[in-house]
């Protein structure tokens, strides 16, 4: 793109490798009463989060310009190519204010307000989603990544997949996804789920949201889900793997800190304190004027503290920024009236000439002013009743480079999953909220600093660049993987080596052992085995091999030193320290197993080159010796016949293999059991296949996941081949020995 592009340059069909689609563009078109016009920053956290990424990506942003009945040519702003999608006044009413903000928004926020269901709103939602999908399809280059944002556009992934199967499609839901009991009220619940399943990766703010979504998929469509992987049947009788998991969004932490360090912003913070009469404590709330934000609860608690004399207006002022939002939706209008009535009453009852109880500001402020407010505030109050993330909480923390300030944070925000050192509150519990506010006001400096230091580290470690990189990596894989061990992985291994109790869990085929045609010929590389032996000899260090193979077959090829734990048949079989855990199949499972074998035998018999591997609770149809098309056709045939006849069979596809099991487990479950068994404080998991994704999905905290080779993955690191895996294990053994002061004889 040139620096001064013409609209025609910007709207070259299929020109962009990266396209973001969201209801709102980063800028809204505004027309003042005097007829002057301008493009202004849009409200809300979605735009705050995506702007820095788009500036860096040289992609296109498809969205609505915030006004009715206006068509705009594409244009460029701050280095982002903007492609506006027009909406009529009626569509804004039915699709945006109606279905998005009066049906989905209250439903997805735990029905804090009652959702309305209207068929004509749904029809407008479908129509407008189609328009966004068409605009994105037009902008996206062959094989481009299209990243669809939020609840207003849940049908776009499926529409896009139908018109452009070449695209890689991601979806991120910025708001919560509700429990099935609530979600199931939606009359169009199946269509919405199907719309979302058009994506390759569906991201949520919290693990709980992703769990609610996969449960809804199972309940409504009966699709197999394993950890975060959903098997979506396609028209050819095969399956597509869709990943649904949490990717907590964040902010440009360094950018906020940089602003906060500017002398003029600090000066403005001092000025704000002065203008408020220099109260001892300033409490701050910053929210869109939305019923999900718990502003009423906050005001109630503050009012009661004043009434009961636990704080006084001389001591504390509450600054409440309530930025205008969705003002044509009735619930929002009512909320504004209620809040302004409450603020008026409280000020009337408690303010003095010199000290105002509440400074209420019904405005949207630019970022510099927000940062000055954060610096001026001793206590930040985030009391949302339900909030996807709440970026304000993270922004406050990022700005407090002075290490001071206290964050009071609702446990019903996504942010509370990460910001554990905040003063966590249940805003429905008014007494608890009052106590937390008093605790925050009175918190000793040492305690404030301790908490703020931990909070700041968390926000810096997962900033918005990290969020988008993690999402996009899961979506696209990382292309060609370079030889050797990347620096980031070396650093992660160094840290891991220092952990108290280390579990090294390794897939076998394709990870420790290069892939071969005959499974019985597979062997781990010598270097990997030597490293495993070294690791197994170190205190508080255990190695596990986690395979899809039956335990018997794994035992024959693994040649692992004694003390190595084994997990076979994707976790159905485990050998820990006391011999294999017995598999007592029920009668019905045994009958299923017999019939399964008959069906798949018949399928395999028709093809030379296919073979069947028997397992205690299932079997695997191997098609590695067939060409890709024949292999796939054979697998589809087997899948069709099995699903037509047998119920409750777990089917999973791997590299040139289709597996059937009468009892279900996955490598994620298996890894959790191994972790528990040895009480591991951190885990290294290395794997190459789709079934290893279940294990990557359960990694947490200081765990390290390494994917071998290309392809979509949840692992944060990659190496190219089993040779690199061996090198990695070698290094880990080295570092661990050093950290532990040498080997010490565990066998």
Ligand X SMILES: O=c1ccn([C@@H]2O[C@H](COP(=O)(O)OP(=O)(O)O)[C@@H](O)[C@H]2O)c(=O)[nH]1
Question: Min. distance of Cβ 290 from ligand X in angstroms?
Answer: 7
The CA distance from 496 to 703, in Å, is 7
Position 98 contacts ligand L263DTV3 (CB under 6 A): no
* Strand 682-687 relative to strand 704-708, pairing: parallel
Q: For residue 256, what are the CA distances in angstroms to 319, 395, 460?
A: 20, 7, 11
Question: Which of 70-78, 274-282, 388-396, 576-584 is the region at the interface with ligand L263DTV3 (rule: CB under 6 A)?
Answer: 388-396
Beta-carbon contacts of residue 233 (< 8 Å; ≥ 6 apart) = 223, 239
Question: Min. distance of Cβ 203 from ligand X in angstroms?
Answer: 15
Of these partners, ligand L263DTV3, ligand X, none, which one is at the site of residue 323 (CB under 5 to 8 Å by kind)? ligand X
Position 175 contacts ligand L263DTV3 (CB under 6 A): yes
Out of 133, 216, 385, 392, point to the residue binding ligand X (CB under 6 A).
392
Query: Nearer Cβ to ligand X, position 464 or 531?
Result: 464
User: Any alpha helices (H) in 308-429, and if so which ranges?
Assistant: 330-350, 367-376, 391-399
What pairs with residue 66 in β-bridges? Answer: none
Out of 228, 390, 410, 421, point to the residue binding ligand X (CB under 6 A).
390
The CA distance from 584 to 574, in Å, is 13
Contact, 147 vs 18, CB < 8 A? yes
Query: Burial level of 736, CB count in 10 A (0-12/13-18/19+)?
Result: buried
Position 84 contacts ligand L263DTV3 (CB under 6 A): no
DSSP-derived 3-state class of residue 493 = helix
Contact, 253 vs 460, CB < 8 A? yes
Q: And the tokens for 682?
A: 């951190």
Out of 10, 16, 45, 471, point to the residue binding ligand L263DTV3 (CB under 6 A).
45
Contact, 35 vs 7, CB < 8 A? no
Of these partners, ligand X, ligand L263DTV3, none, which one is at the site of residue 364 (CB under 5 to 8 Å by kind)? ligand X
Q: And the tokens for 33?
A: 């009463």
Question: Min. distance of Cβ 154 from ligand X in angstroms?
Answer: 18
Q: Which residue is nearest to ligand L263DTV3 (CB)?
A: 44
Q: CA torsion sign, 708 to 666 to 174 to 371? A: negative
DSSP-derived 3-state class of residue 545 = strand
Q: What is the length of the chain?
A: 747
Beta-carbon contacts of residue 744 (< 8 Å; ≥ 6 apart) = 537, 538, 539
Where in 270-329 is the site for ligand L263DTV3 (CB under 6 A)?
Answer: 325-326
Position 407 contacts ligand L263DTV3 (CB under 6 A): no
Out of 129, 225, 390, 716, point to the residue binding ligand L263DTV3 (CB under 6 A).
390
Q: For residue 579, what are the CA distances in angstroms to 248, 562, 731?
A: 41, 11, 30
Out of 389, 455, 574, 596, point to the residue binding ligand X (CB under 6 A).
389
From residue 295 to residue 324, what is the string marking binding to ligand X with x (rule CB under 6 A)?
--------------------------x-x-
Out of 72, 75, 223, 365, point to the residue binding ligand X (CB under 6 A).
365
Out of 57, 83, 286, 437, point to the residue binding ligand X (CB under 6 A).
286
Position 364 contacts ligand X (CB under 6 A): yes
Tell me which DSSP letter residue 582 carries.
Answer: P
Query: Nearer Cβ to ligand L263DTV3, position 389 or 551?
Result: 389
**C-alpha R_g of the chain:** 28
Of these partners, ligand X, ligand L263DTV3, none, which one is at the site of residue 248 (CB under 5 to 8 Å by kind)? none
Q: And the tokens for 525?
A: 């590389």
DSSP 282-308: EEEEEEES-GGG-HHHHHHHHHHHHHT
Position 66 contacts ligand X (CB under 6 A): no
Out of 15, 39, 43, 597, point to the residue binding ligand L263DTV3 (CB under 6 A).
43
Out of 387, 659, 669, 689, point to the residue binding ligand L263DTV3 (CB under 6 A).
387
* φ/ψ of residue 682, rounded to 5: -160, 155
Of these partners, ligand X, ligand L263DTV3, none, which one is at the site of residue 367 (CB under 5 to 8 Å by kind)? ligand X
Position 395 contacts ligand X (CB under 6 A): yes
Place of tokens 């951190």: 682
Query: Nearer Cβ to ligand L263DTV3, position 92 or 437?
Result: 92
Question: Min. distance of Cβ 329 from ligand X in angstroms?
Answer: 14
Beta-carbon contacts of residue 12 (< 8 Å; ≥ 6 apart) = none
Question: Which of 44-52, 460-468, 631-639, 735-743 is the region at the interface with ligand X (rule: CB under 6 A)?
Answer: 44-52
* φ/ψ of residue 88, rounded to 5: -80, 165
Of these partners, ligand L263DTV3, ligand X, none, which one is at the site of residue 249 (CB under 5 to 8 Å by kind)? ligand L263DTV3
Position 174 contacts ligand L263DTV3 (CB under 6 A): yes
Q: And the tokens for 361?
A: 């500001």
Of these partners, ligand L263DTV3, ligand X, none, which one is at the site of residue 370 (CB under 5 to 8 Å by kind)? ligand X
Out of 19, 21, 25, 44, point to the residue binding ligand L263DTV3 (CB under 6 A).
44
Of these partners, ligand L263DTV3, ligand X, none, which one is at the site of residue 24 (CB under 5 to 8 Å by kind)? ligand L263DTV3
- Other beta carbons within 10 angstroms of residue 327's beta carbon come to 10
Position 564 contacts ligand L263DTV3 (CB under 6 A): no
Position 268 contacts ligand X (CB under 6 A): no
Q: And the tokens for 217?
A: 């998929």
Q: And the tokens for 721?
A: 């081949």
The CA distance from 542 to 563, in Å, is 8
DSSP-derived 3-state class of residue 368 = helix
The CA distance from 713 to 705, in Å, is 10
Query: Nearer Cβ to ligand X, position 299 or 537?
Result: 299
- DSSP element (H, E) containing 674: helix 667-678
Position 209 contacts ligand L263DTV3 (CB under 6 A): no
Question: Min. distance of Cβ 71 from ligand L263DTV3 in angstroms?
Answer: 20
From residue 45 to residue 64, what is the string marking binding to ligand X with x (rule CB under 6 A)?
x--x----------------
Where in 2-41 is the site for ligand L263DTV3 (CB under 6 A)?
Answer: 23-24
How many residues line the site for ligand L263DTV3 (CB under 6 A)? Answer: 18
Of these partners, ligand X, ligand L263DTV3, none, which one is at the site of residue 326 (CB under 5 to 8 Å by kind)? ligand L263DTV3
DSSP 191-225: HHHHHHTTSSEEEESSHHHHHHHHHHHHHHH---E
* Strand 16-24 relative to strand 60-64, pairing: parallel
Position 389 contacts ligand L263DTV3 (CB under 6 A): yes
The CA distance from 210 to 205, in Å, is 8
Out of 391, 538, 546, 619, point to the residue binding ligand X (CB under 6 A).
391
Query: Nearer Cβ to ligand L263DTV3, position 11 or 95?
Result: 95
Question: Which of 69-77, 263-271, 383-391, 597-605 is the region at the interface with ligand X (rule: CB under 6 A)?
Answer: 383-391
User: Any alpha helices (H) in 509-614, and if so which ranges?
Assistant: 526-536, 551-558, 587-605
Binding site for ligand L263DTV3 (CB under 6 A): 23-24, 43-46, 49, 150, 174-175, 249, 325-326, 387-391
Write out the residues near ligand X by the rule CB under 6 A.
44-45, 48, 286, 288, 321, 323, 364-365, 367, 370, 389-392, 395
């Amino acid at each position: 793109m040139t620096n001064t592009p013409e609209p025609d340059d910007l709207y070259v069909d299929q020109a962009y490798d990266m396209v973001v689609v969201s209801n709102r563009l980063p800028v809204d078109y505004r027309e003042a009463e005097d007829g002057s016009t301008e493009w202004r920053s849009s409200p809300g956290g979605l735009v705050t989060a995506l702007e820095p990424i788009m500036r860096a990506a040289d992609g296109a942003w498809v969205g609505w310009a915030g006004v009715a009945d206006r068509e705009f040519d594409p244009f460029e702003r701050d280095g982002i190519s903007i492609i506006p999608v027009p909406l009529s006044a009626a569509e804004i009413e039915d699709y945006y204010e109606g279905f998005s903000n009066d049906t989905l928004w209250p439903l997805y926020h735990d029905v804090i307000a009652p959702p309305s269901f209207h068929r004509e709103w749904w029809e407008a939602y479908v129509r407008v989603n189609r328009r966004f999908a068409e605009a994105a399809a037009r902008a996206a280059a062959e094989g481009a990544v299209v990243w669809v944002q939020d609840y207003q556009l849940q049908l776009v992934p499926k529409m896009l997949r139908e018109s452009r199967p070449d695209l890689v499609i991601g979806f991120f839901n910025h708001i919560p996804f509700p429990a099935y009991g609530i979600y199931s009220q939606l009359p169009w619940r199946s269509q919405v789920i199907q719309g979302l399943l058009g994506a390759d990766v569906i991201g949520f703010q919290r693990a709980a949201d992703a769990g609610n979504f996969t449960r809804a998929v199972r309940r409504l469509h009966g699709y197999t889900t394993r950890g975060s992987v959903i098997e979506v049947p396609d028209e050819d009788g095969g399956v597509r793997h869709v990943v649904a998991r949490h990717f907590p969004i964040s902010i440009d932490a360094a950018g906020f800190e940089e602003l906060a360090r500017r002398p003029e912003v600090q000066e403005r913070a001092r000025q704000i304190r002065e203008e408020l009469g220099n109260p001892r404590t300033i409490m701050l709330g910053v929210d869109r004027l939305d019923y999900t934000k718990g502003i009423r609860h906050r005001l109630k608690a503050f009012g009661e503290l004043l009434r009961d004399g636990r704080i006084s207006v001389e001591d504390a002022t509450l600054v409440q920024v309530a930025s205008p939002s969705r003002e044509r939706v009735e619930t929002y209008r009512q909320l504004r009236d209620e809040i302004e009535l409450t603020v008026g009453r409280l000020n009337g009852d408690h303010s003095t000439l010199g000290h105002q109880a509440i400074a209420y500001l019904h405005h949207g402020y630019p970022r510099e002013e927000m940062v000055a407010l954060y610096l001026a505030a001793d206590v930040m109050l985030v009391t949302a009743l339900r909030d996807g993330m709440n970026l304000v909480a993270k922004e406050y923390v990022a700005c407090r480079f002075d290490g001071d300030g206290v964050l009071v944070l609702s446990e019903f925000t996504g942010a509370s999953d990460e910001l554990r050192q905040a003063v966590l509150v249940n805003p429905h519990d008014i007494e608890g909220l009052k106590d937390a506010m008093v605790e925050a006001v009175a918190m000793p400096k040492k305690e404030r600093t301790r908490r703020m230091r931990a909070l700041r580290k968390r926000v810096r470690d997962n900033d918005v660049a990290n969020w988008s990189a993690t999402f996009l990596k899961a979506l696209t894989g990382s292309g060609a993987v370079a030889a050797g061990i990347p620096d980031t992985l070396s650093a992660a291994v160094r840290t891991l080596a220092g952990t108290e109790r280390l579990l090294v869990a390794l897939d076998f085929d394709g990870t420790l052992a290069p892939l071969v045609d005959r499974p019985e010929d597979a062997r781990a590389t010598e270097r990997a085995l030597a490293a495993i032996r070294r690791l197994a000899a170190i205190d508080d260090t255990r190695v596990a091999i986690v395979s899809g193979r039956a335990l018997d077959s794994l035992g024959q090829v693994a040649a692992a030193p004694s003390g190595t734990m084994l997990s076979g048949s994707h976790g159905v079989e485990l050998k820990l320290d006391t011999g294999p855990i017995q598999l007592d199949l029920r009668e019905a499972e045994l009958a299923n197993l017999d019939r399964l074998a008959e069906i798949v035998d018949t399928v395999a018999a028709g093809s030379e080159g296919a073979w069947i591997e028997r397992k205690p609770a299932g079997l695997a149809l191997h098609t590695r010796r067939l060409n890709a098309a024949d292999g796939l056709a054979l697998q589809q045939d087997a899948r069709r016949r099995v699903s037509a006849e047998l119920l409750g069979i777990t089917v999973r596809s791997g590299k040139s293999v289709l597996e059937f099991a009468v009892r279900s487990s996955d490598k994620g479950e298996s890894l959790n059991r191994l972790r528990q068994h040895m009480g591991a404080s951190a885990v290294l998991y290395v794997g190459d296949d789709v079934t290893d994704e279940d294990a990557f999905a359960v990694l947490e905290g200081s765990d390290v996941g390494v994917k071998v080779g290309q392809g979509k993955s949840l692992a944060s690191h990659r190496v190219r081949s089993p040779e690199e895996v061996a090198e990695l294990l070698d290094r880990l053994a080295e570092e661990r020995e050093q950290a532990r002061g040498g080997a010490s004889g565990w066998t």
